[in-house]
Amino acid sequence: MFGTRTFGSLSHVQQFHDDRLIVKLYPAGAVSGIRARAMQAESSFMASNPGMGMLERMDRAGMIDRVTSLDAMELQSPNRIASSSAFVRMMSMASATSGTASNSASTGMRMVRMSAGADLGQLQGALMEDPSVEMVSRVPIRYLLAKKKTAAKAARTKGSSRTSNTKKGIGISAIPPSPTMMWNLQKIKWDAARLAGLNQASSVRVSVLDTGVDLGHPDLPGSLIDYTYDYGDADARASDLDIVGHGTHVSGTIRALANGNAGINGICDCKLAVYKIFNDAPEFTGMEQGWESHDYLVDPEMYHSALARCAVDGTRVVTLSIGGNGLPSQAERLLVKDLIDRNICVVAAMGNDDSFVTSYPAGISGVIAVGASRINDVRATFSNKGIHIALLAPGEDIWSTLPTNTGDMGYWRNPITGQTVKKERELDYDAWPGTSMAAPHVVAAVALILGKDSSLTASDVRNILIKNADKLFGMNGANFDSLHGFGRLNLERIANAI
């Protein structure tokens, strides 16, 4: 169950999954030795390895729903684990990972999902005492950072059918303006930067971890997008549809085709990869003005698997438009740190609560946290604040692509009348607000910087972004503040600096 919340706020939402743990085992050789001893003397193993012993007992009792490998090398191996036994899956290590413990932070990492009624705290405590376990932690809940209408407003407008390019979306016509008139591109000096030579990113792999992407959208590069929605494990799988549309919107800001007056213009011609990390069915997340809210949530197995894969698939920049106030697990911190240590830039949206309460993963050390600005260069009123913010980018009324297939962002249900109201979205195109609309501007800027000089480190790239940001009036002459970071993204200044 999830706690009650006010619409648009994450501050009172349940912060952690109550049925999952992430466990990281020590390298393959050590685990294999423990397993051999277990086969020789089970009772001795149970005594010396209390966590694994408890896991096996709970598995036999039907209290473990599943155990999913998050090991990127293991999932790519033809010899990867395939067993219904939680204990065997936890203890086994695919031969492909032998001796590779130093190659990936995900080596030996597992997601344990417990059945209803199982004692998560008891198992966590036992695993923490187990010498074969390197790390065990709770799993924080991550939400989509998207601004939406309220339940009351949606109920009032229910019944007004909407079709592509004819009706209104979230208060704005679904027919996009001419690409040459897109205010966000004008504000970050996109045209001037291209003329100055900041116009090449075709060799840079950009990974979007989001709700998916519509490969059939005419304004996106289709088959050129590397799309992952099935992670090769029955426990980390979803359909190929972008139901919510958010991932398609983010992808369009980064990589929509710059083709004259048709559709919109994306910022850079990069090697776009999309990892779908969301479930296909909305879940109850709390009450909003007397209505039950049901939303699409980040699937933790898919999310952690995607982070692990980005470390080994050639990615140079990752974008995350998700958030939550639950402190990152050791696994989430470890996977993000591994990316940054490999000089893979991680960009994340600050959140849309107009709050100083830190949302993660934006608050993880080393992440480039992005807030939203308006057309008049003031901070968007919804944009989160904090000392971890790096910079602002356009994030209000941002036109981009949406799936050509119908979909929704969840639904509300009136618990008294039983009435349900879908959280509708437009088709083809729409203008959305949010820090997750701002973040892809910075992601594309990172791709262009790396396209200019691929030898730059993640720290180098961050410094280039912040040193060349425009100082805004609201900063009152300061170089940095917790509302605006170091200022608003400016591609022309970056182009002239590198």
Q: What is the pLDDT of residues 214-228, one digit of tens each?
A: 999 999 999 999 999
Both tokens of 470, joined, read 């425009």
Q: Which one-letter DSSP state was computed for residue 148?
A: -
Q: How far apart are CA 192 and CA 172, in angstroms?
A: 28
116 or 400, which is more confident? 400
Confidence band, pLDDT 50/70/90 cuts, at residue 163: very low
Answer yes or no: are the C-beta atoms of 235 and 66 closer than 8 Å. Answer: yes
Least confident of 34-43, 165-174, 432-441: 165-174
Residue 405 has pLDDT above 70, yes or no: yes
Burial class (CB in 10 A: 0-12, 13-18, 19+), 160: exposed
* pLDDT confidence of residue 32: 44
pLDDT band at 40 (very low <50, low <70, confident <90, very high): very low
- DSSP collapsed to 3 states, 98-109: CCCCCCCCCCCE
- What pLDDT is attached to residue 147? 60
Whether omega for the bond prior to residue 403 falls within 30 degrees of 0, making it cis, is: no
pLDDT value for 169: 38
Q: Which two tokens stand for residue 109?
A: 């990492």
The pLDDT of residue 195 is 96
DSSP string for 219-279: TS-GGGSEEE-B-SSTTSB--S--SS-HHHHHHHHHH----TTSS---S--EEEEEEE-B-
pLDDT of 273-296, one tens digit each? 999 999 899 999 888 889 999 999
Tens digit of each residue's pLDDT (9 = 90 or more) over 86-113: 655 565 543 334 444 446 788 888 899 9
Cβ contacts of 161 within 8 Å, gap of 6 or more:
167
Question: In 374-419, at which residue ranges do the beta strands (DSSP E only) sit?
Answer: 389-394, 398-401, 408-413
In which residue ranges of the chain is CATH 3.40.50.200 found?
Answer: 144-497
Q: How far is CA 466 from CA 189, 388, 438, in A?
A: 16, 13, 15
Confidence of residue 154 (pLDDT cuts 50, 70, 90): very low
Give the C-alpha separation, 392 to 294, whole Å.
Answer: 30
How many angstroms separate the CA atoms of 468 and 446, rounded? 13
Q: What is the pLDDT of residue 26?
A: 83
Output the CA–CA distances (angstroms, integers) from residue 437 to 141, 276, 382, 447, in the order listed.
21, 17, 12, 17
- Examine the pLDDT at 2 and tell me if it is beyond 80: no
Question: Which is more confident, 79 or 288?
Answer: 288
> What is the arithmetic mean of pLDDT over 161-190?
64
Question: How large is the greatest C-alpha to C-alpha distance in the chain, in angstroms?
Answer: 73
Please check the confidence at residue 174 and state whether its pLDDT lies above 90: no
Q: How far is CA 18 from CA 117, 124, 273, 356, in A?
A: 10, 12, 31, 26
pLDDT tens digits, 413-430: 999 999 999 999 999 999
CA distance 179 to 399: 9
CATH code, 144-497: 3.40.50.200
Residue with the bigger pLDDT between 262 and 142: it is: 142
330 CB-near residues (< 8 Å, 6+ apart): 22, 24, 135, 137
Give the containing element (helix H, strand E) for 291.
strand 291-295
When pLDDT is cut at 50, 70 and 90, the band that residue 59 belongs to is: confident
pLDDT at site 76:
62
Q: Please report the pLDDT score of residue 33 as a whole number.
A: 45
pLDDT of residue 488: 98
Terminal Cα-to-Cα distance of the chain (whole angstroms)? 50
The mean pLDDT of the chain is: 84
pLDDT of 202:
96
pLDDT average, residue stretch 149-154: 46
- Under 8 Å between Cβ of 172 and 361: no
Place of tokens 């897109």: 182
Selected residue with higher pLDDT from 164 and 370: 370
Average pLDDT over residues 356-364: 97
pLDDT the model gives residue 25? 86
Give the pLDDT confidence score for residue 175 in this predicted structure. Answer: 73
Of 1-5, 415-419, 453-457, minimum mean pLDDT range? 1-5
DSSP string, 329-341: PHHHHHHHHHHHH
Mean pLDDT, rounded, for 239-248: 96
